[in-house]
Each structure stands twice: as C-alpha cells, then as structure tokens.
Structure 1
Amino acid sequence: MEEAKGPVKHIVLAKFKDGIPPDQIEQLIKSYSNLANLIEPMKAFHWGKDVSIENLHQGFTHVFESTFESVEGIAEYVAHPDHVEFATAFLPNVEKVLIIDYKPTAVHL
C-alpha cells in the first residue's frame, strides 16, 4: 500500500443480516462512532443509510466513513484493542461488508 501522509478516508459498506433488531443495529452504530473518542488517529466519523435512486447498492444498506491522519493511523486503529473488540461484536451481525481506504485527491477545475 502506498504510504500516505495527510488525511485518509476509511469507508465501510455494510449490509446487516436479516432479523437483526433495529435497536441492536443502533447500538452497534453508537459503539462504532464511540471509537473516535477512544482511538487517537481516528479524527472523524460519519454514517448513513443508502438513499440512492440508482439501485446500484448491491445490497449494502449502511455507509460508515472515518477520517484518519495517515495510512499509519489506520493501521494503528485496526490493531487497537477497542477496535478489535468492536469488530468482534460487529462482524457477526453483517451479511456482507466492503472496506476501502483512500487518500482524497482534490480536483482543480
């Protein structure tokens, strides 16, 4: 992976398993968002549900976006005990997940 200094986005697309109660999904999302308070390189967290009219979501229903200070910050986050604990609770509740990390590039028009 290319070493990147500066902000890096960590995108997680998820489809929760059928039958997972909404309050359980809400609790998982709260736990996910709380990681920004526990893991220093995680600078921001946003999430939302798919609202696209194009129907190209391939079944993914939720989007989670975290901002990190660097690629190294993501590595620190992935290995952090609080993230490991969260992932252990989160992953059994999702049918599928896709994770992409990228360094934003400005477009000059």
Structure 2
Amino acid sequence: MIRHFVLLRFRDDVTTEQKQDIFDALAGLQAHLEGVRGFHAGANVSVETDLIRGFREAFWFDFEDANARDAYLVDEKHQAAGARIVEHTVGGIDGVIVVDLEL
C-alpha cells in the first residue's frame, strides 16, 4: 500500500470554505479512481508549532499499490484539484510538500 501524504501552507486569505471545497474535490476522487483505499484531510494539530512552518493543513490518500497512485497522478480531475491547491498556497508549489510512504 502507498500512503500519499500532502502538507499544505494555504495563504492567510484562503477561507475555511475554500479549503473544504478543495478537500471535497479530492475526496470525490475515491469514487472516480480504482485502487483508492481511503482519503483523509484536516488541520495539522501538532503542538510543535515551530516545526510546522505554516503547513497547517494536510491530506492523504491510501492507494492499493504504486500503480493506483501513478494513475491518480496523471488523472485530469486530480490535476485540476492540484492546480487549485497551487493557486491557494503560499508561493504556489512552494506551499506544498508531498511524501509517499510504502506501508
């Protein structure tokens, strides 16, 4: 299984509703793509505030395998959601960190 984990540093002017709309679009990918085992999103509640460096939200997908993850990466709906994320993060792509873990 592959856990695709994404940390986000949204701009201060991005509303809670805008963030939720992005997360809802991502959640909708579960029904659209094969091999998605789960999706979660929410606030970073770490007490290590000096270490989060403004990355206050996160989401992750659990994929059945690397092939399912790779299909997600090139999917048009995923790429549209990704473009929306980049539009709303500090410094665009600099406001996004991606980590994939093999579980």
Q: TM-score, with normalisation over the residues of structure 2?
A: 0.87
Aligned partners of 2:83 and 2:42: how far apart in 1? 21
Do 1:11 and 1:63's aligned partners in 2 also have CA atoms closer than 8 Å?
Answer: yes
Whole-angstrom distance in 1 between the partners of 2:2 and 2:20: 26
Post-superposition offset of 1:23: 1.3
Superposition TM-score, scaled by structure 1 size: 0.83
Once superposed, which parts of structure 1, at least 4 consecutive aligned residues long, lie more than 6 Å away? none
Instruction: Select 2:41's aligned residue among 47, 64, 71.
Output: 47
Letter in 2 for 1:12: V
Q: How far is 1:25 from its partner?
A: 1.3
**Structure 2 equivalent of residue 90 of structure 1:** 85
| CA root-mean-square deviation | 1.1
Secondary structure class of the residue paired with 2:6: strand
Unaligned runs of 5+ in 1: 1-6, 105-109
Q: Identify the match of residue 65 of structure 1 among 57, 60, 65.
A: 60
Percent identity of paired positions between Structure 1 and Structure 2: 24
Structure showing the higher strand proportion among its residues: 1
Query: Could you say which structure has the larger radius of gyration?
Result: 1
The alpha-carbon deviation at position 41 of structure 1 amounts to: 2.1
CA offsets 1:31-69 (integer angstroms, 9 cap, x no match): 111111111122200112111112221210011111001
5+ residue gaps, structure 2, are: none
Match of 2:31?
37
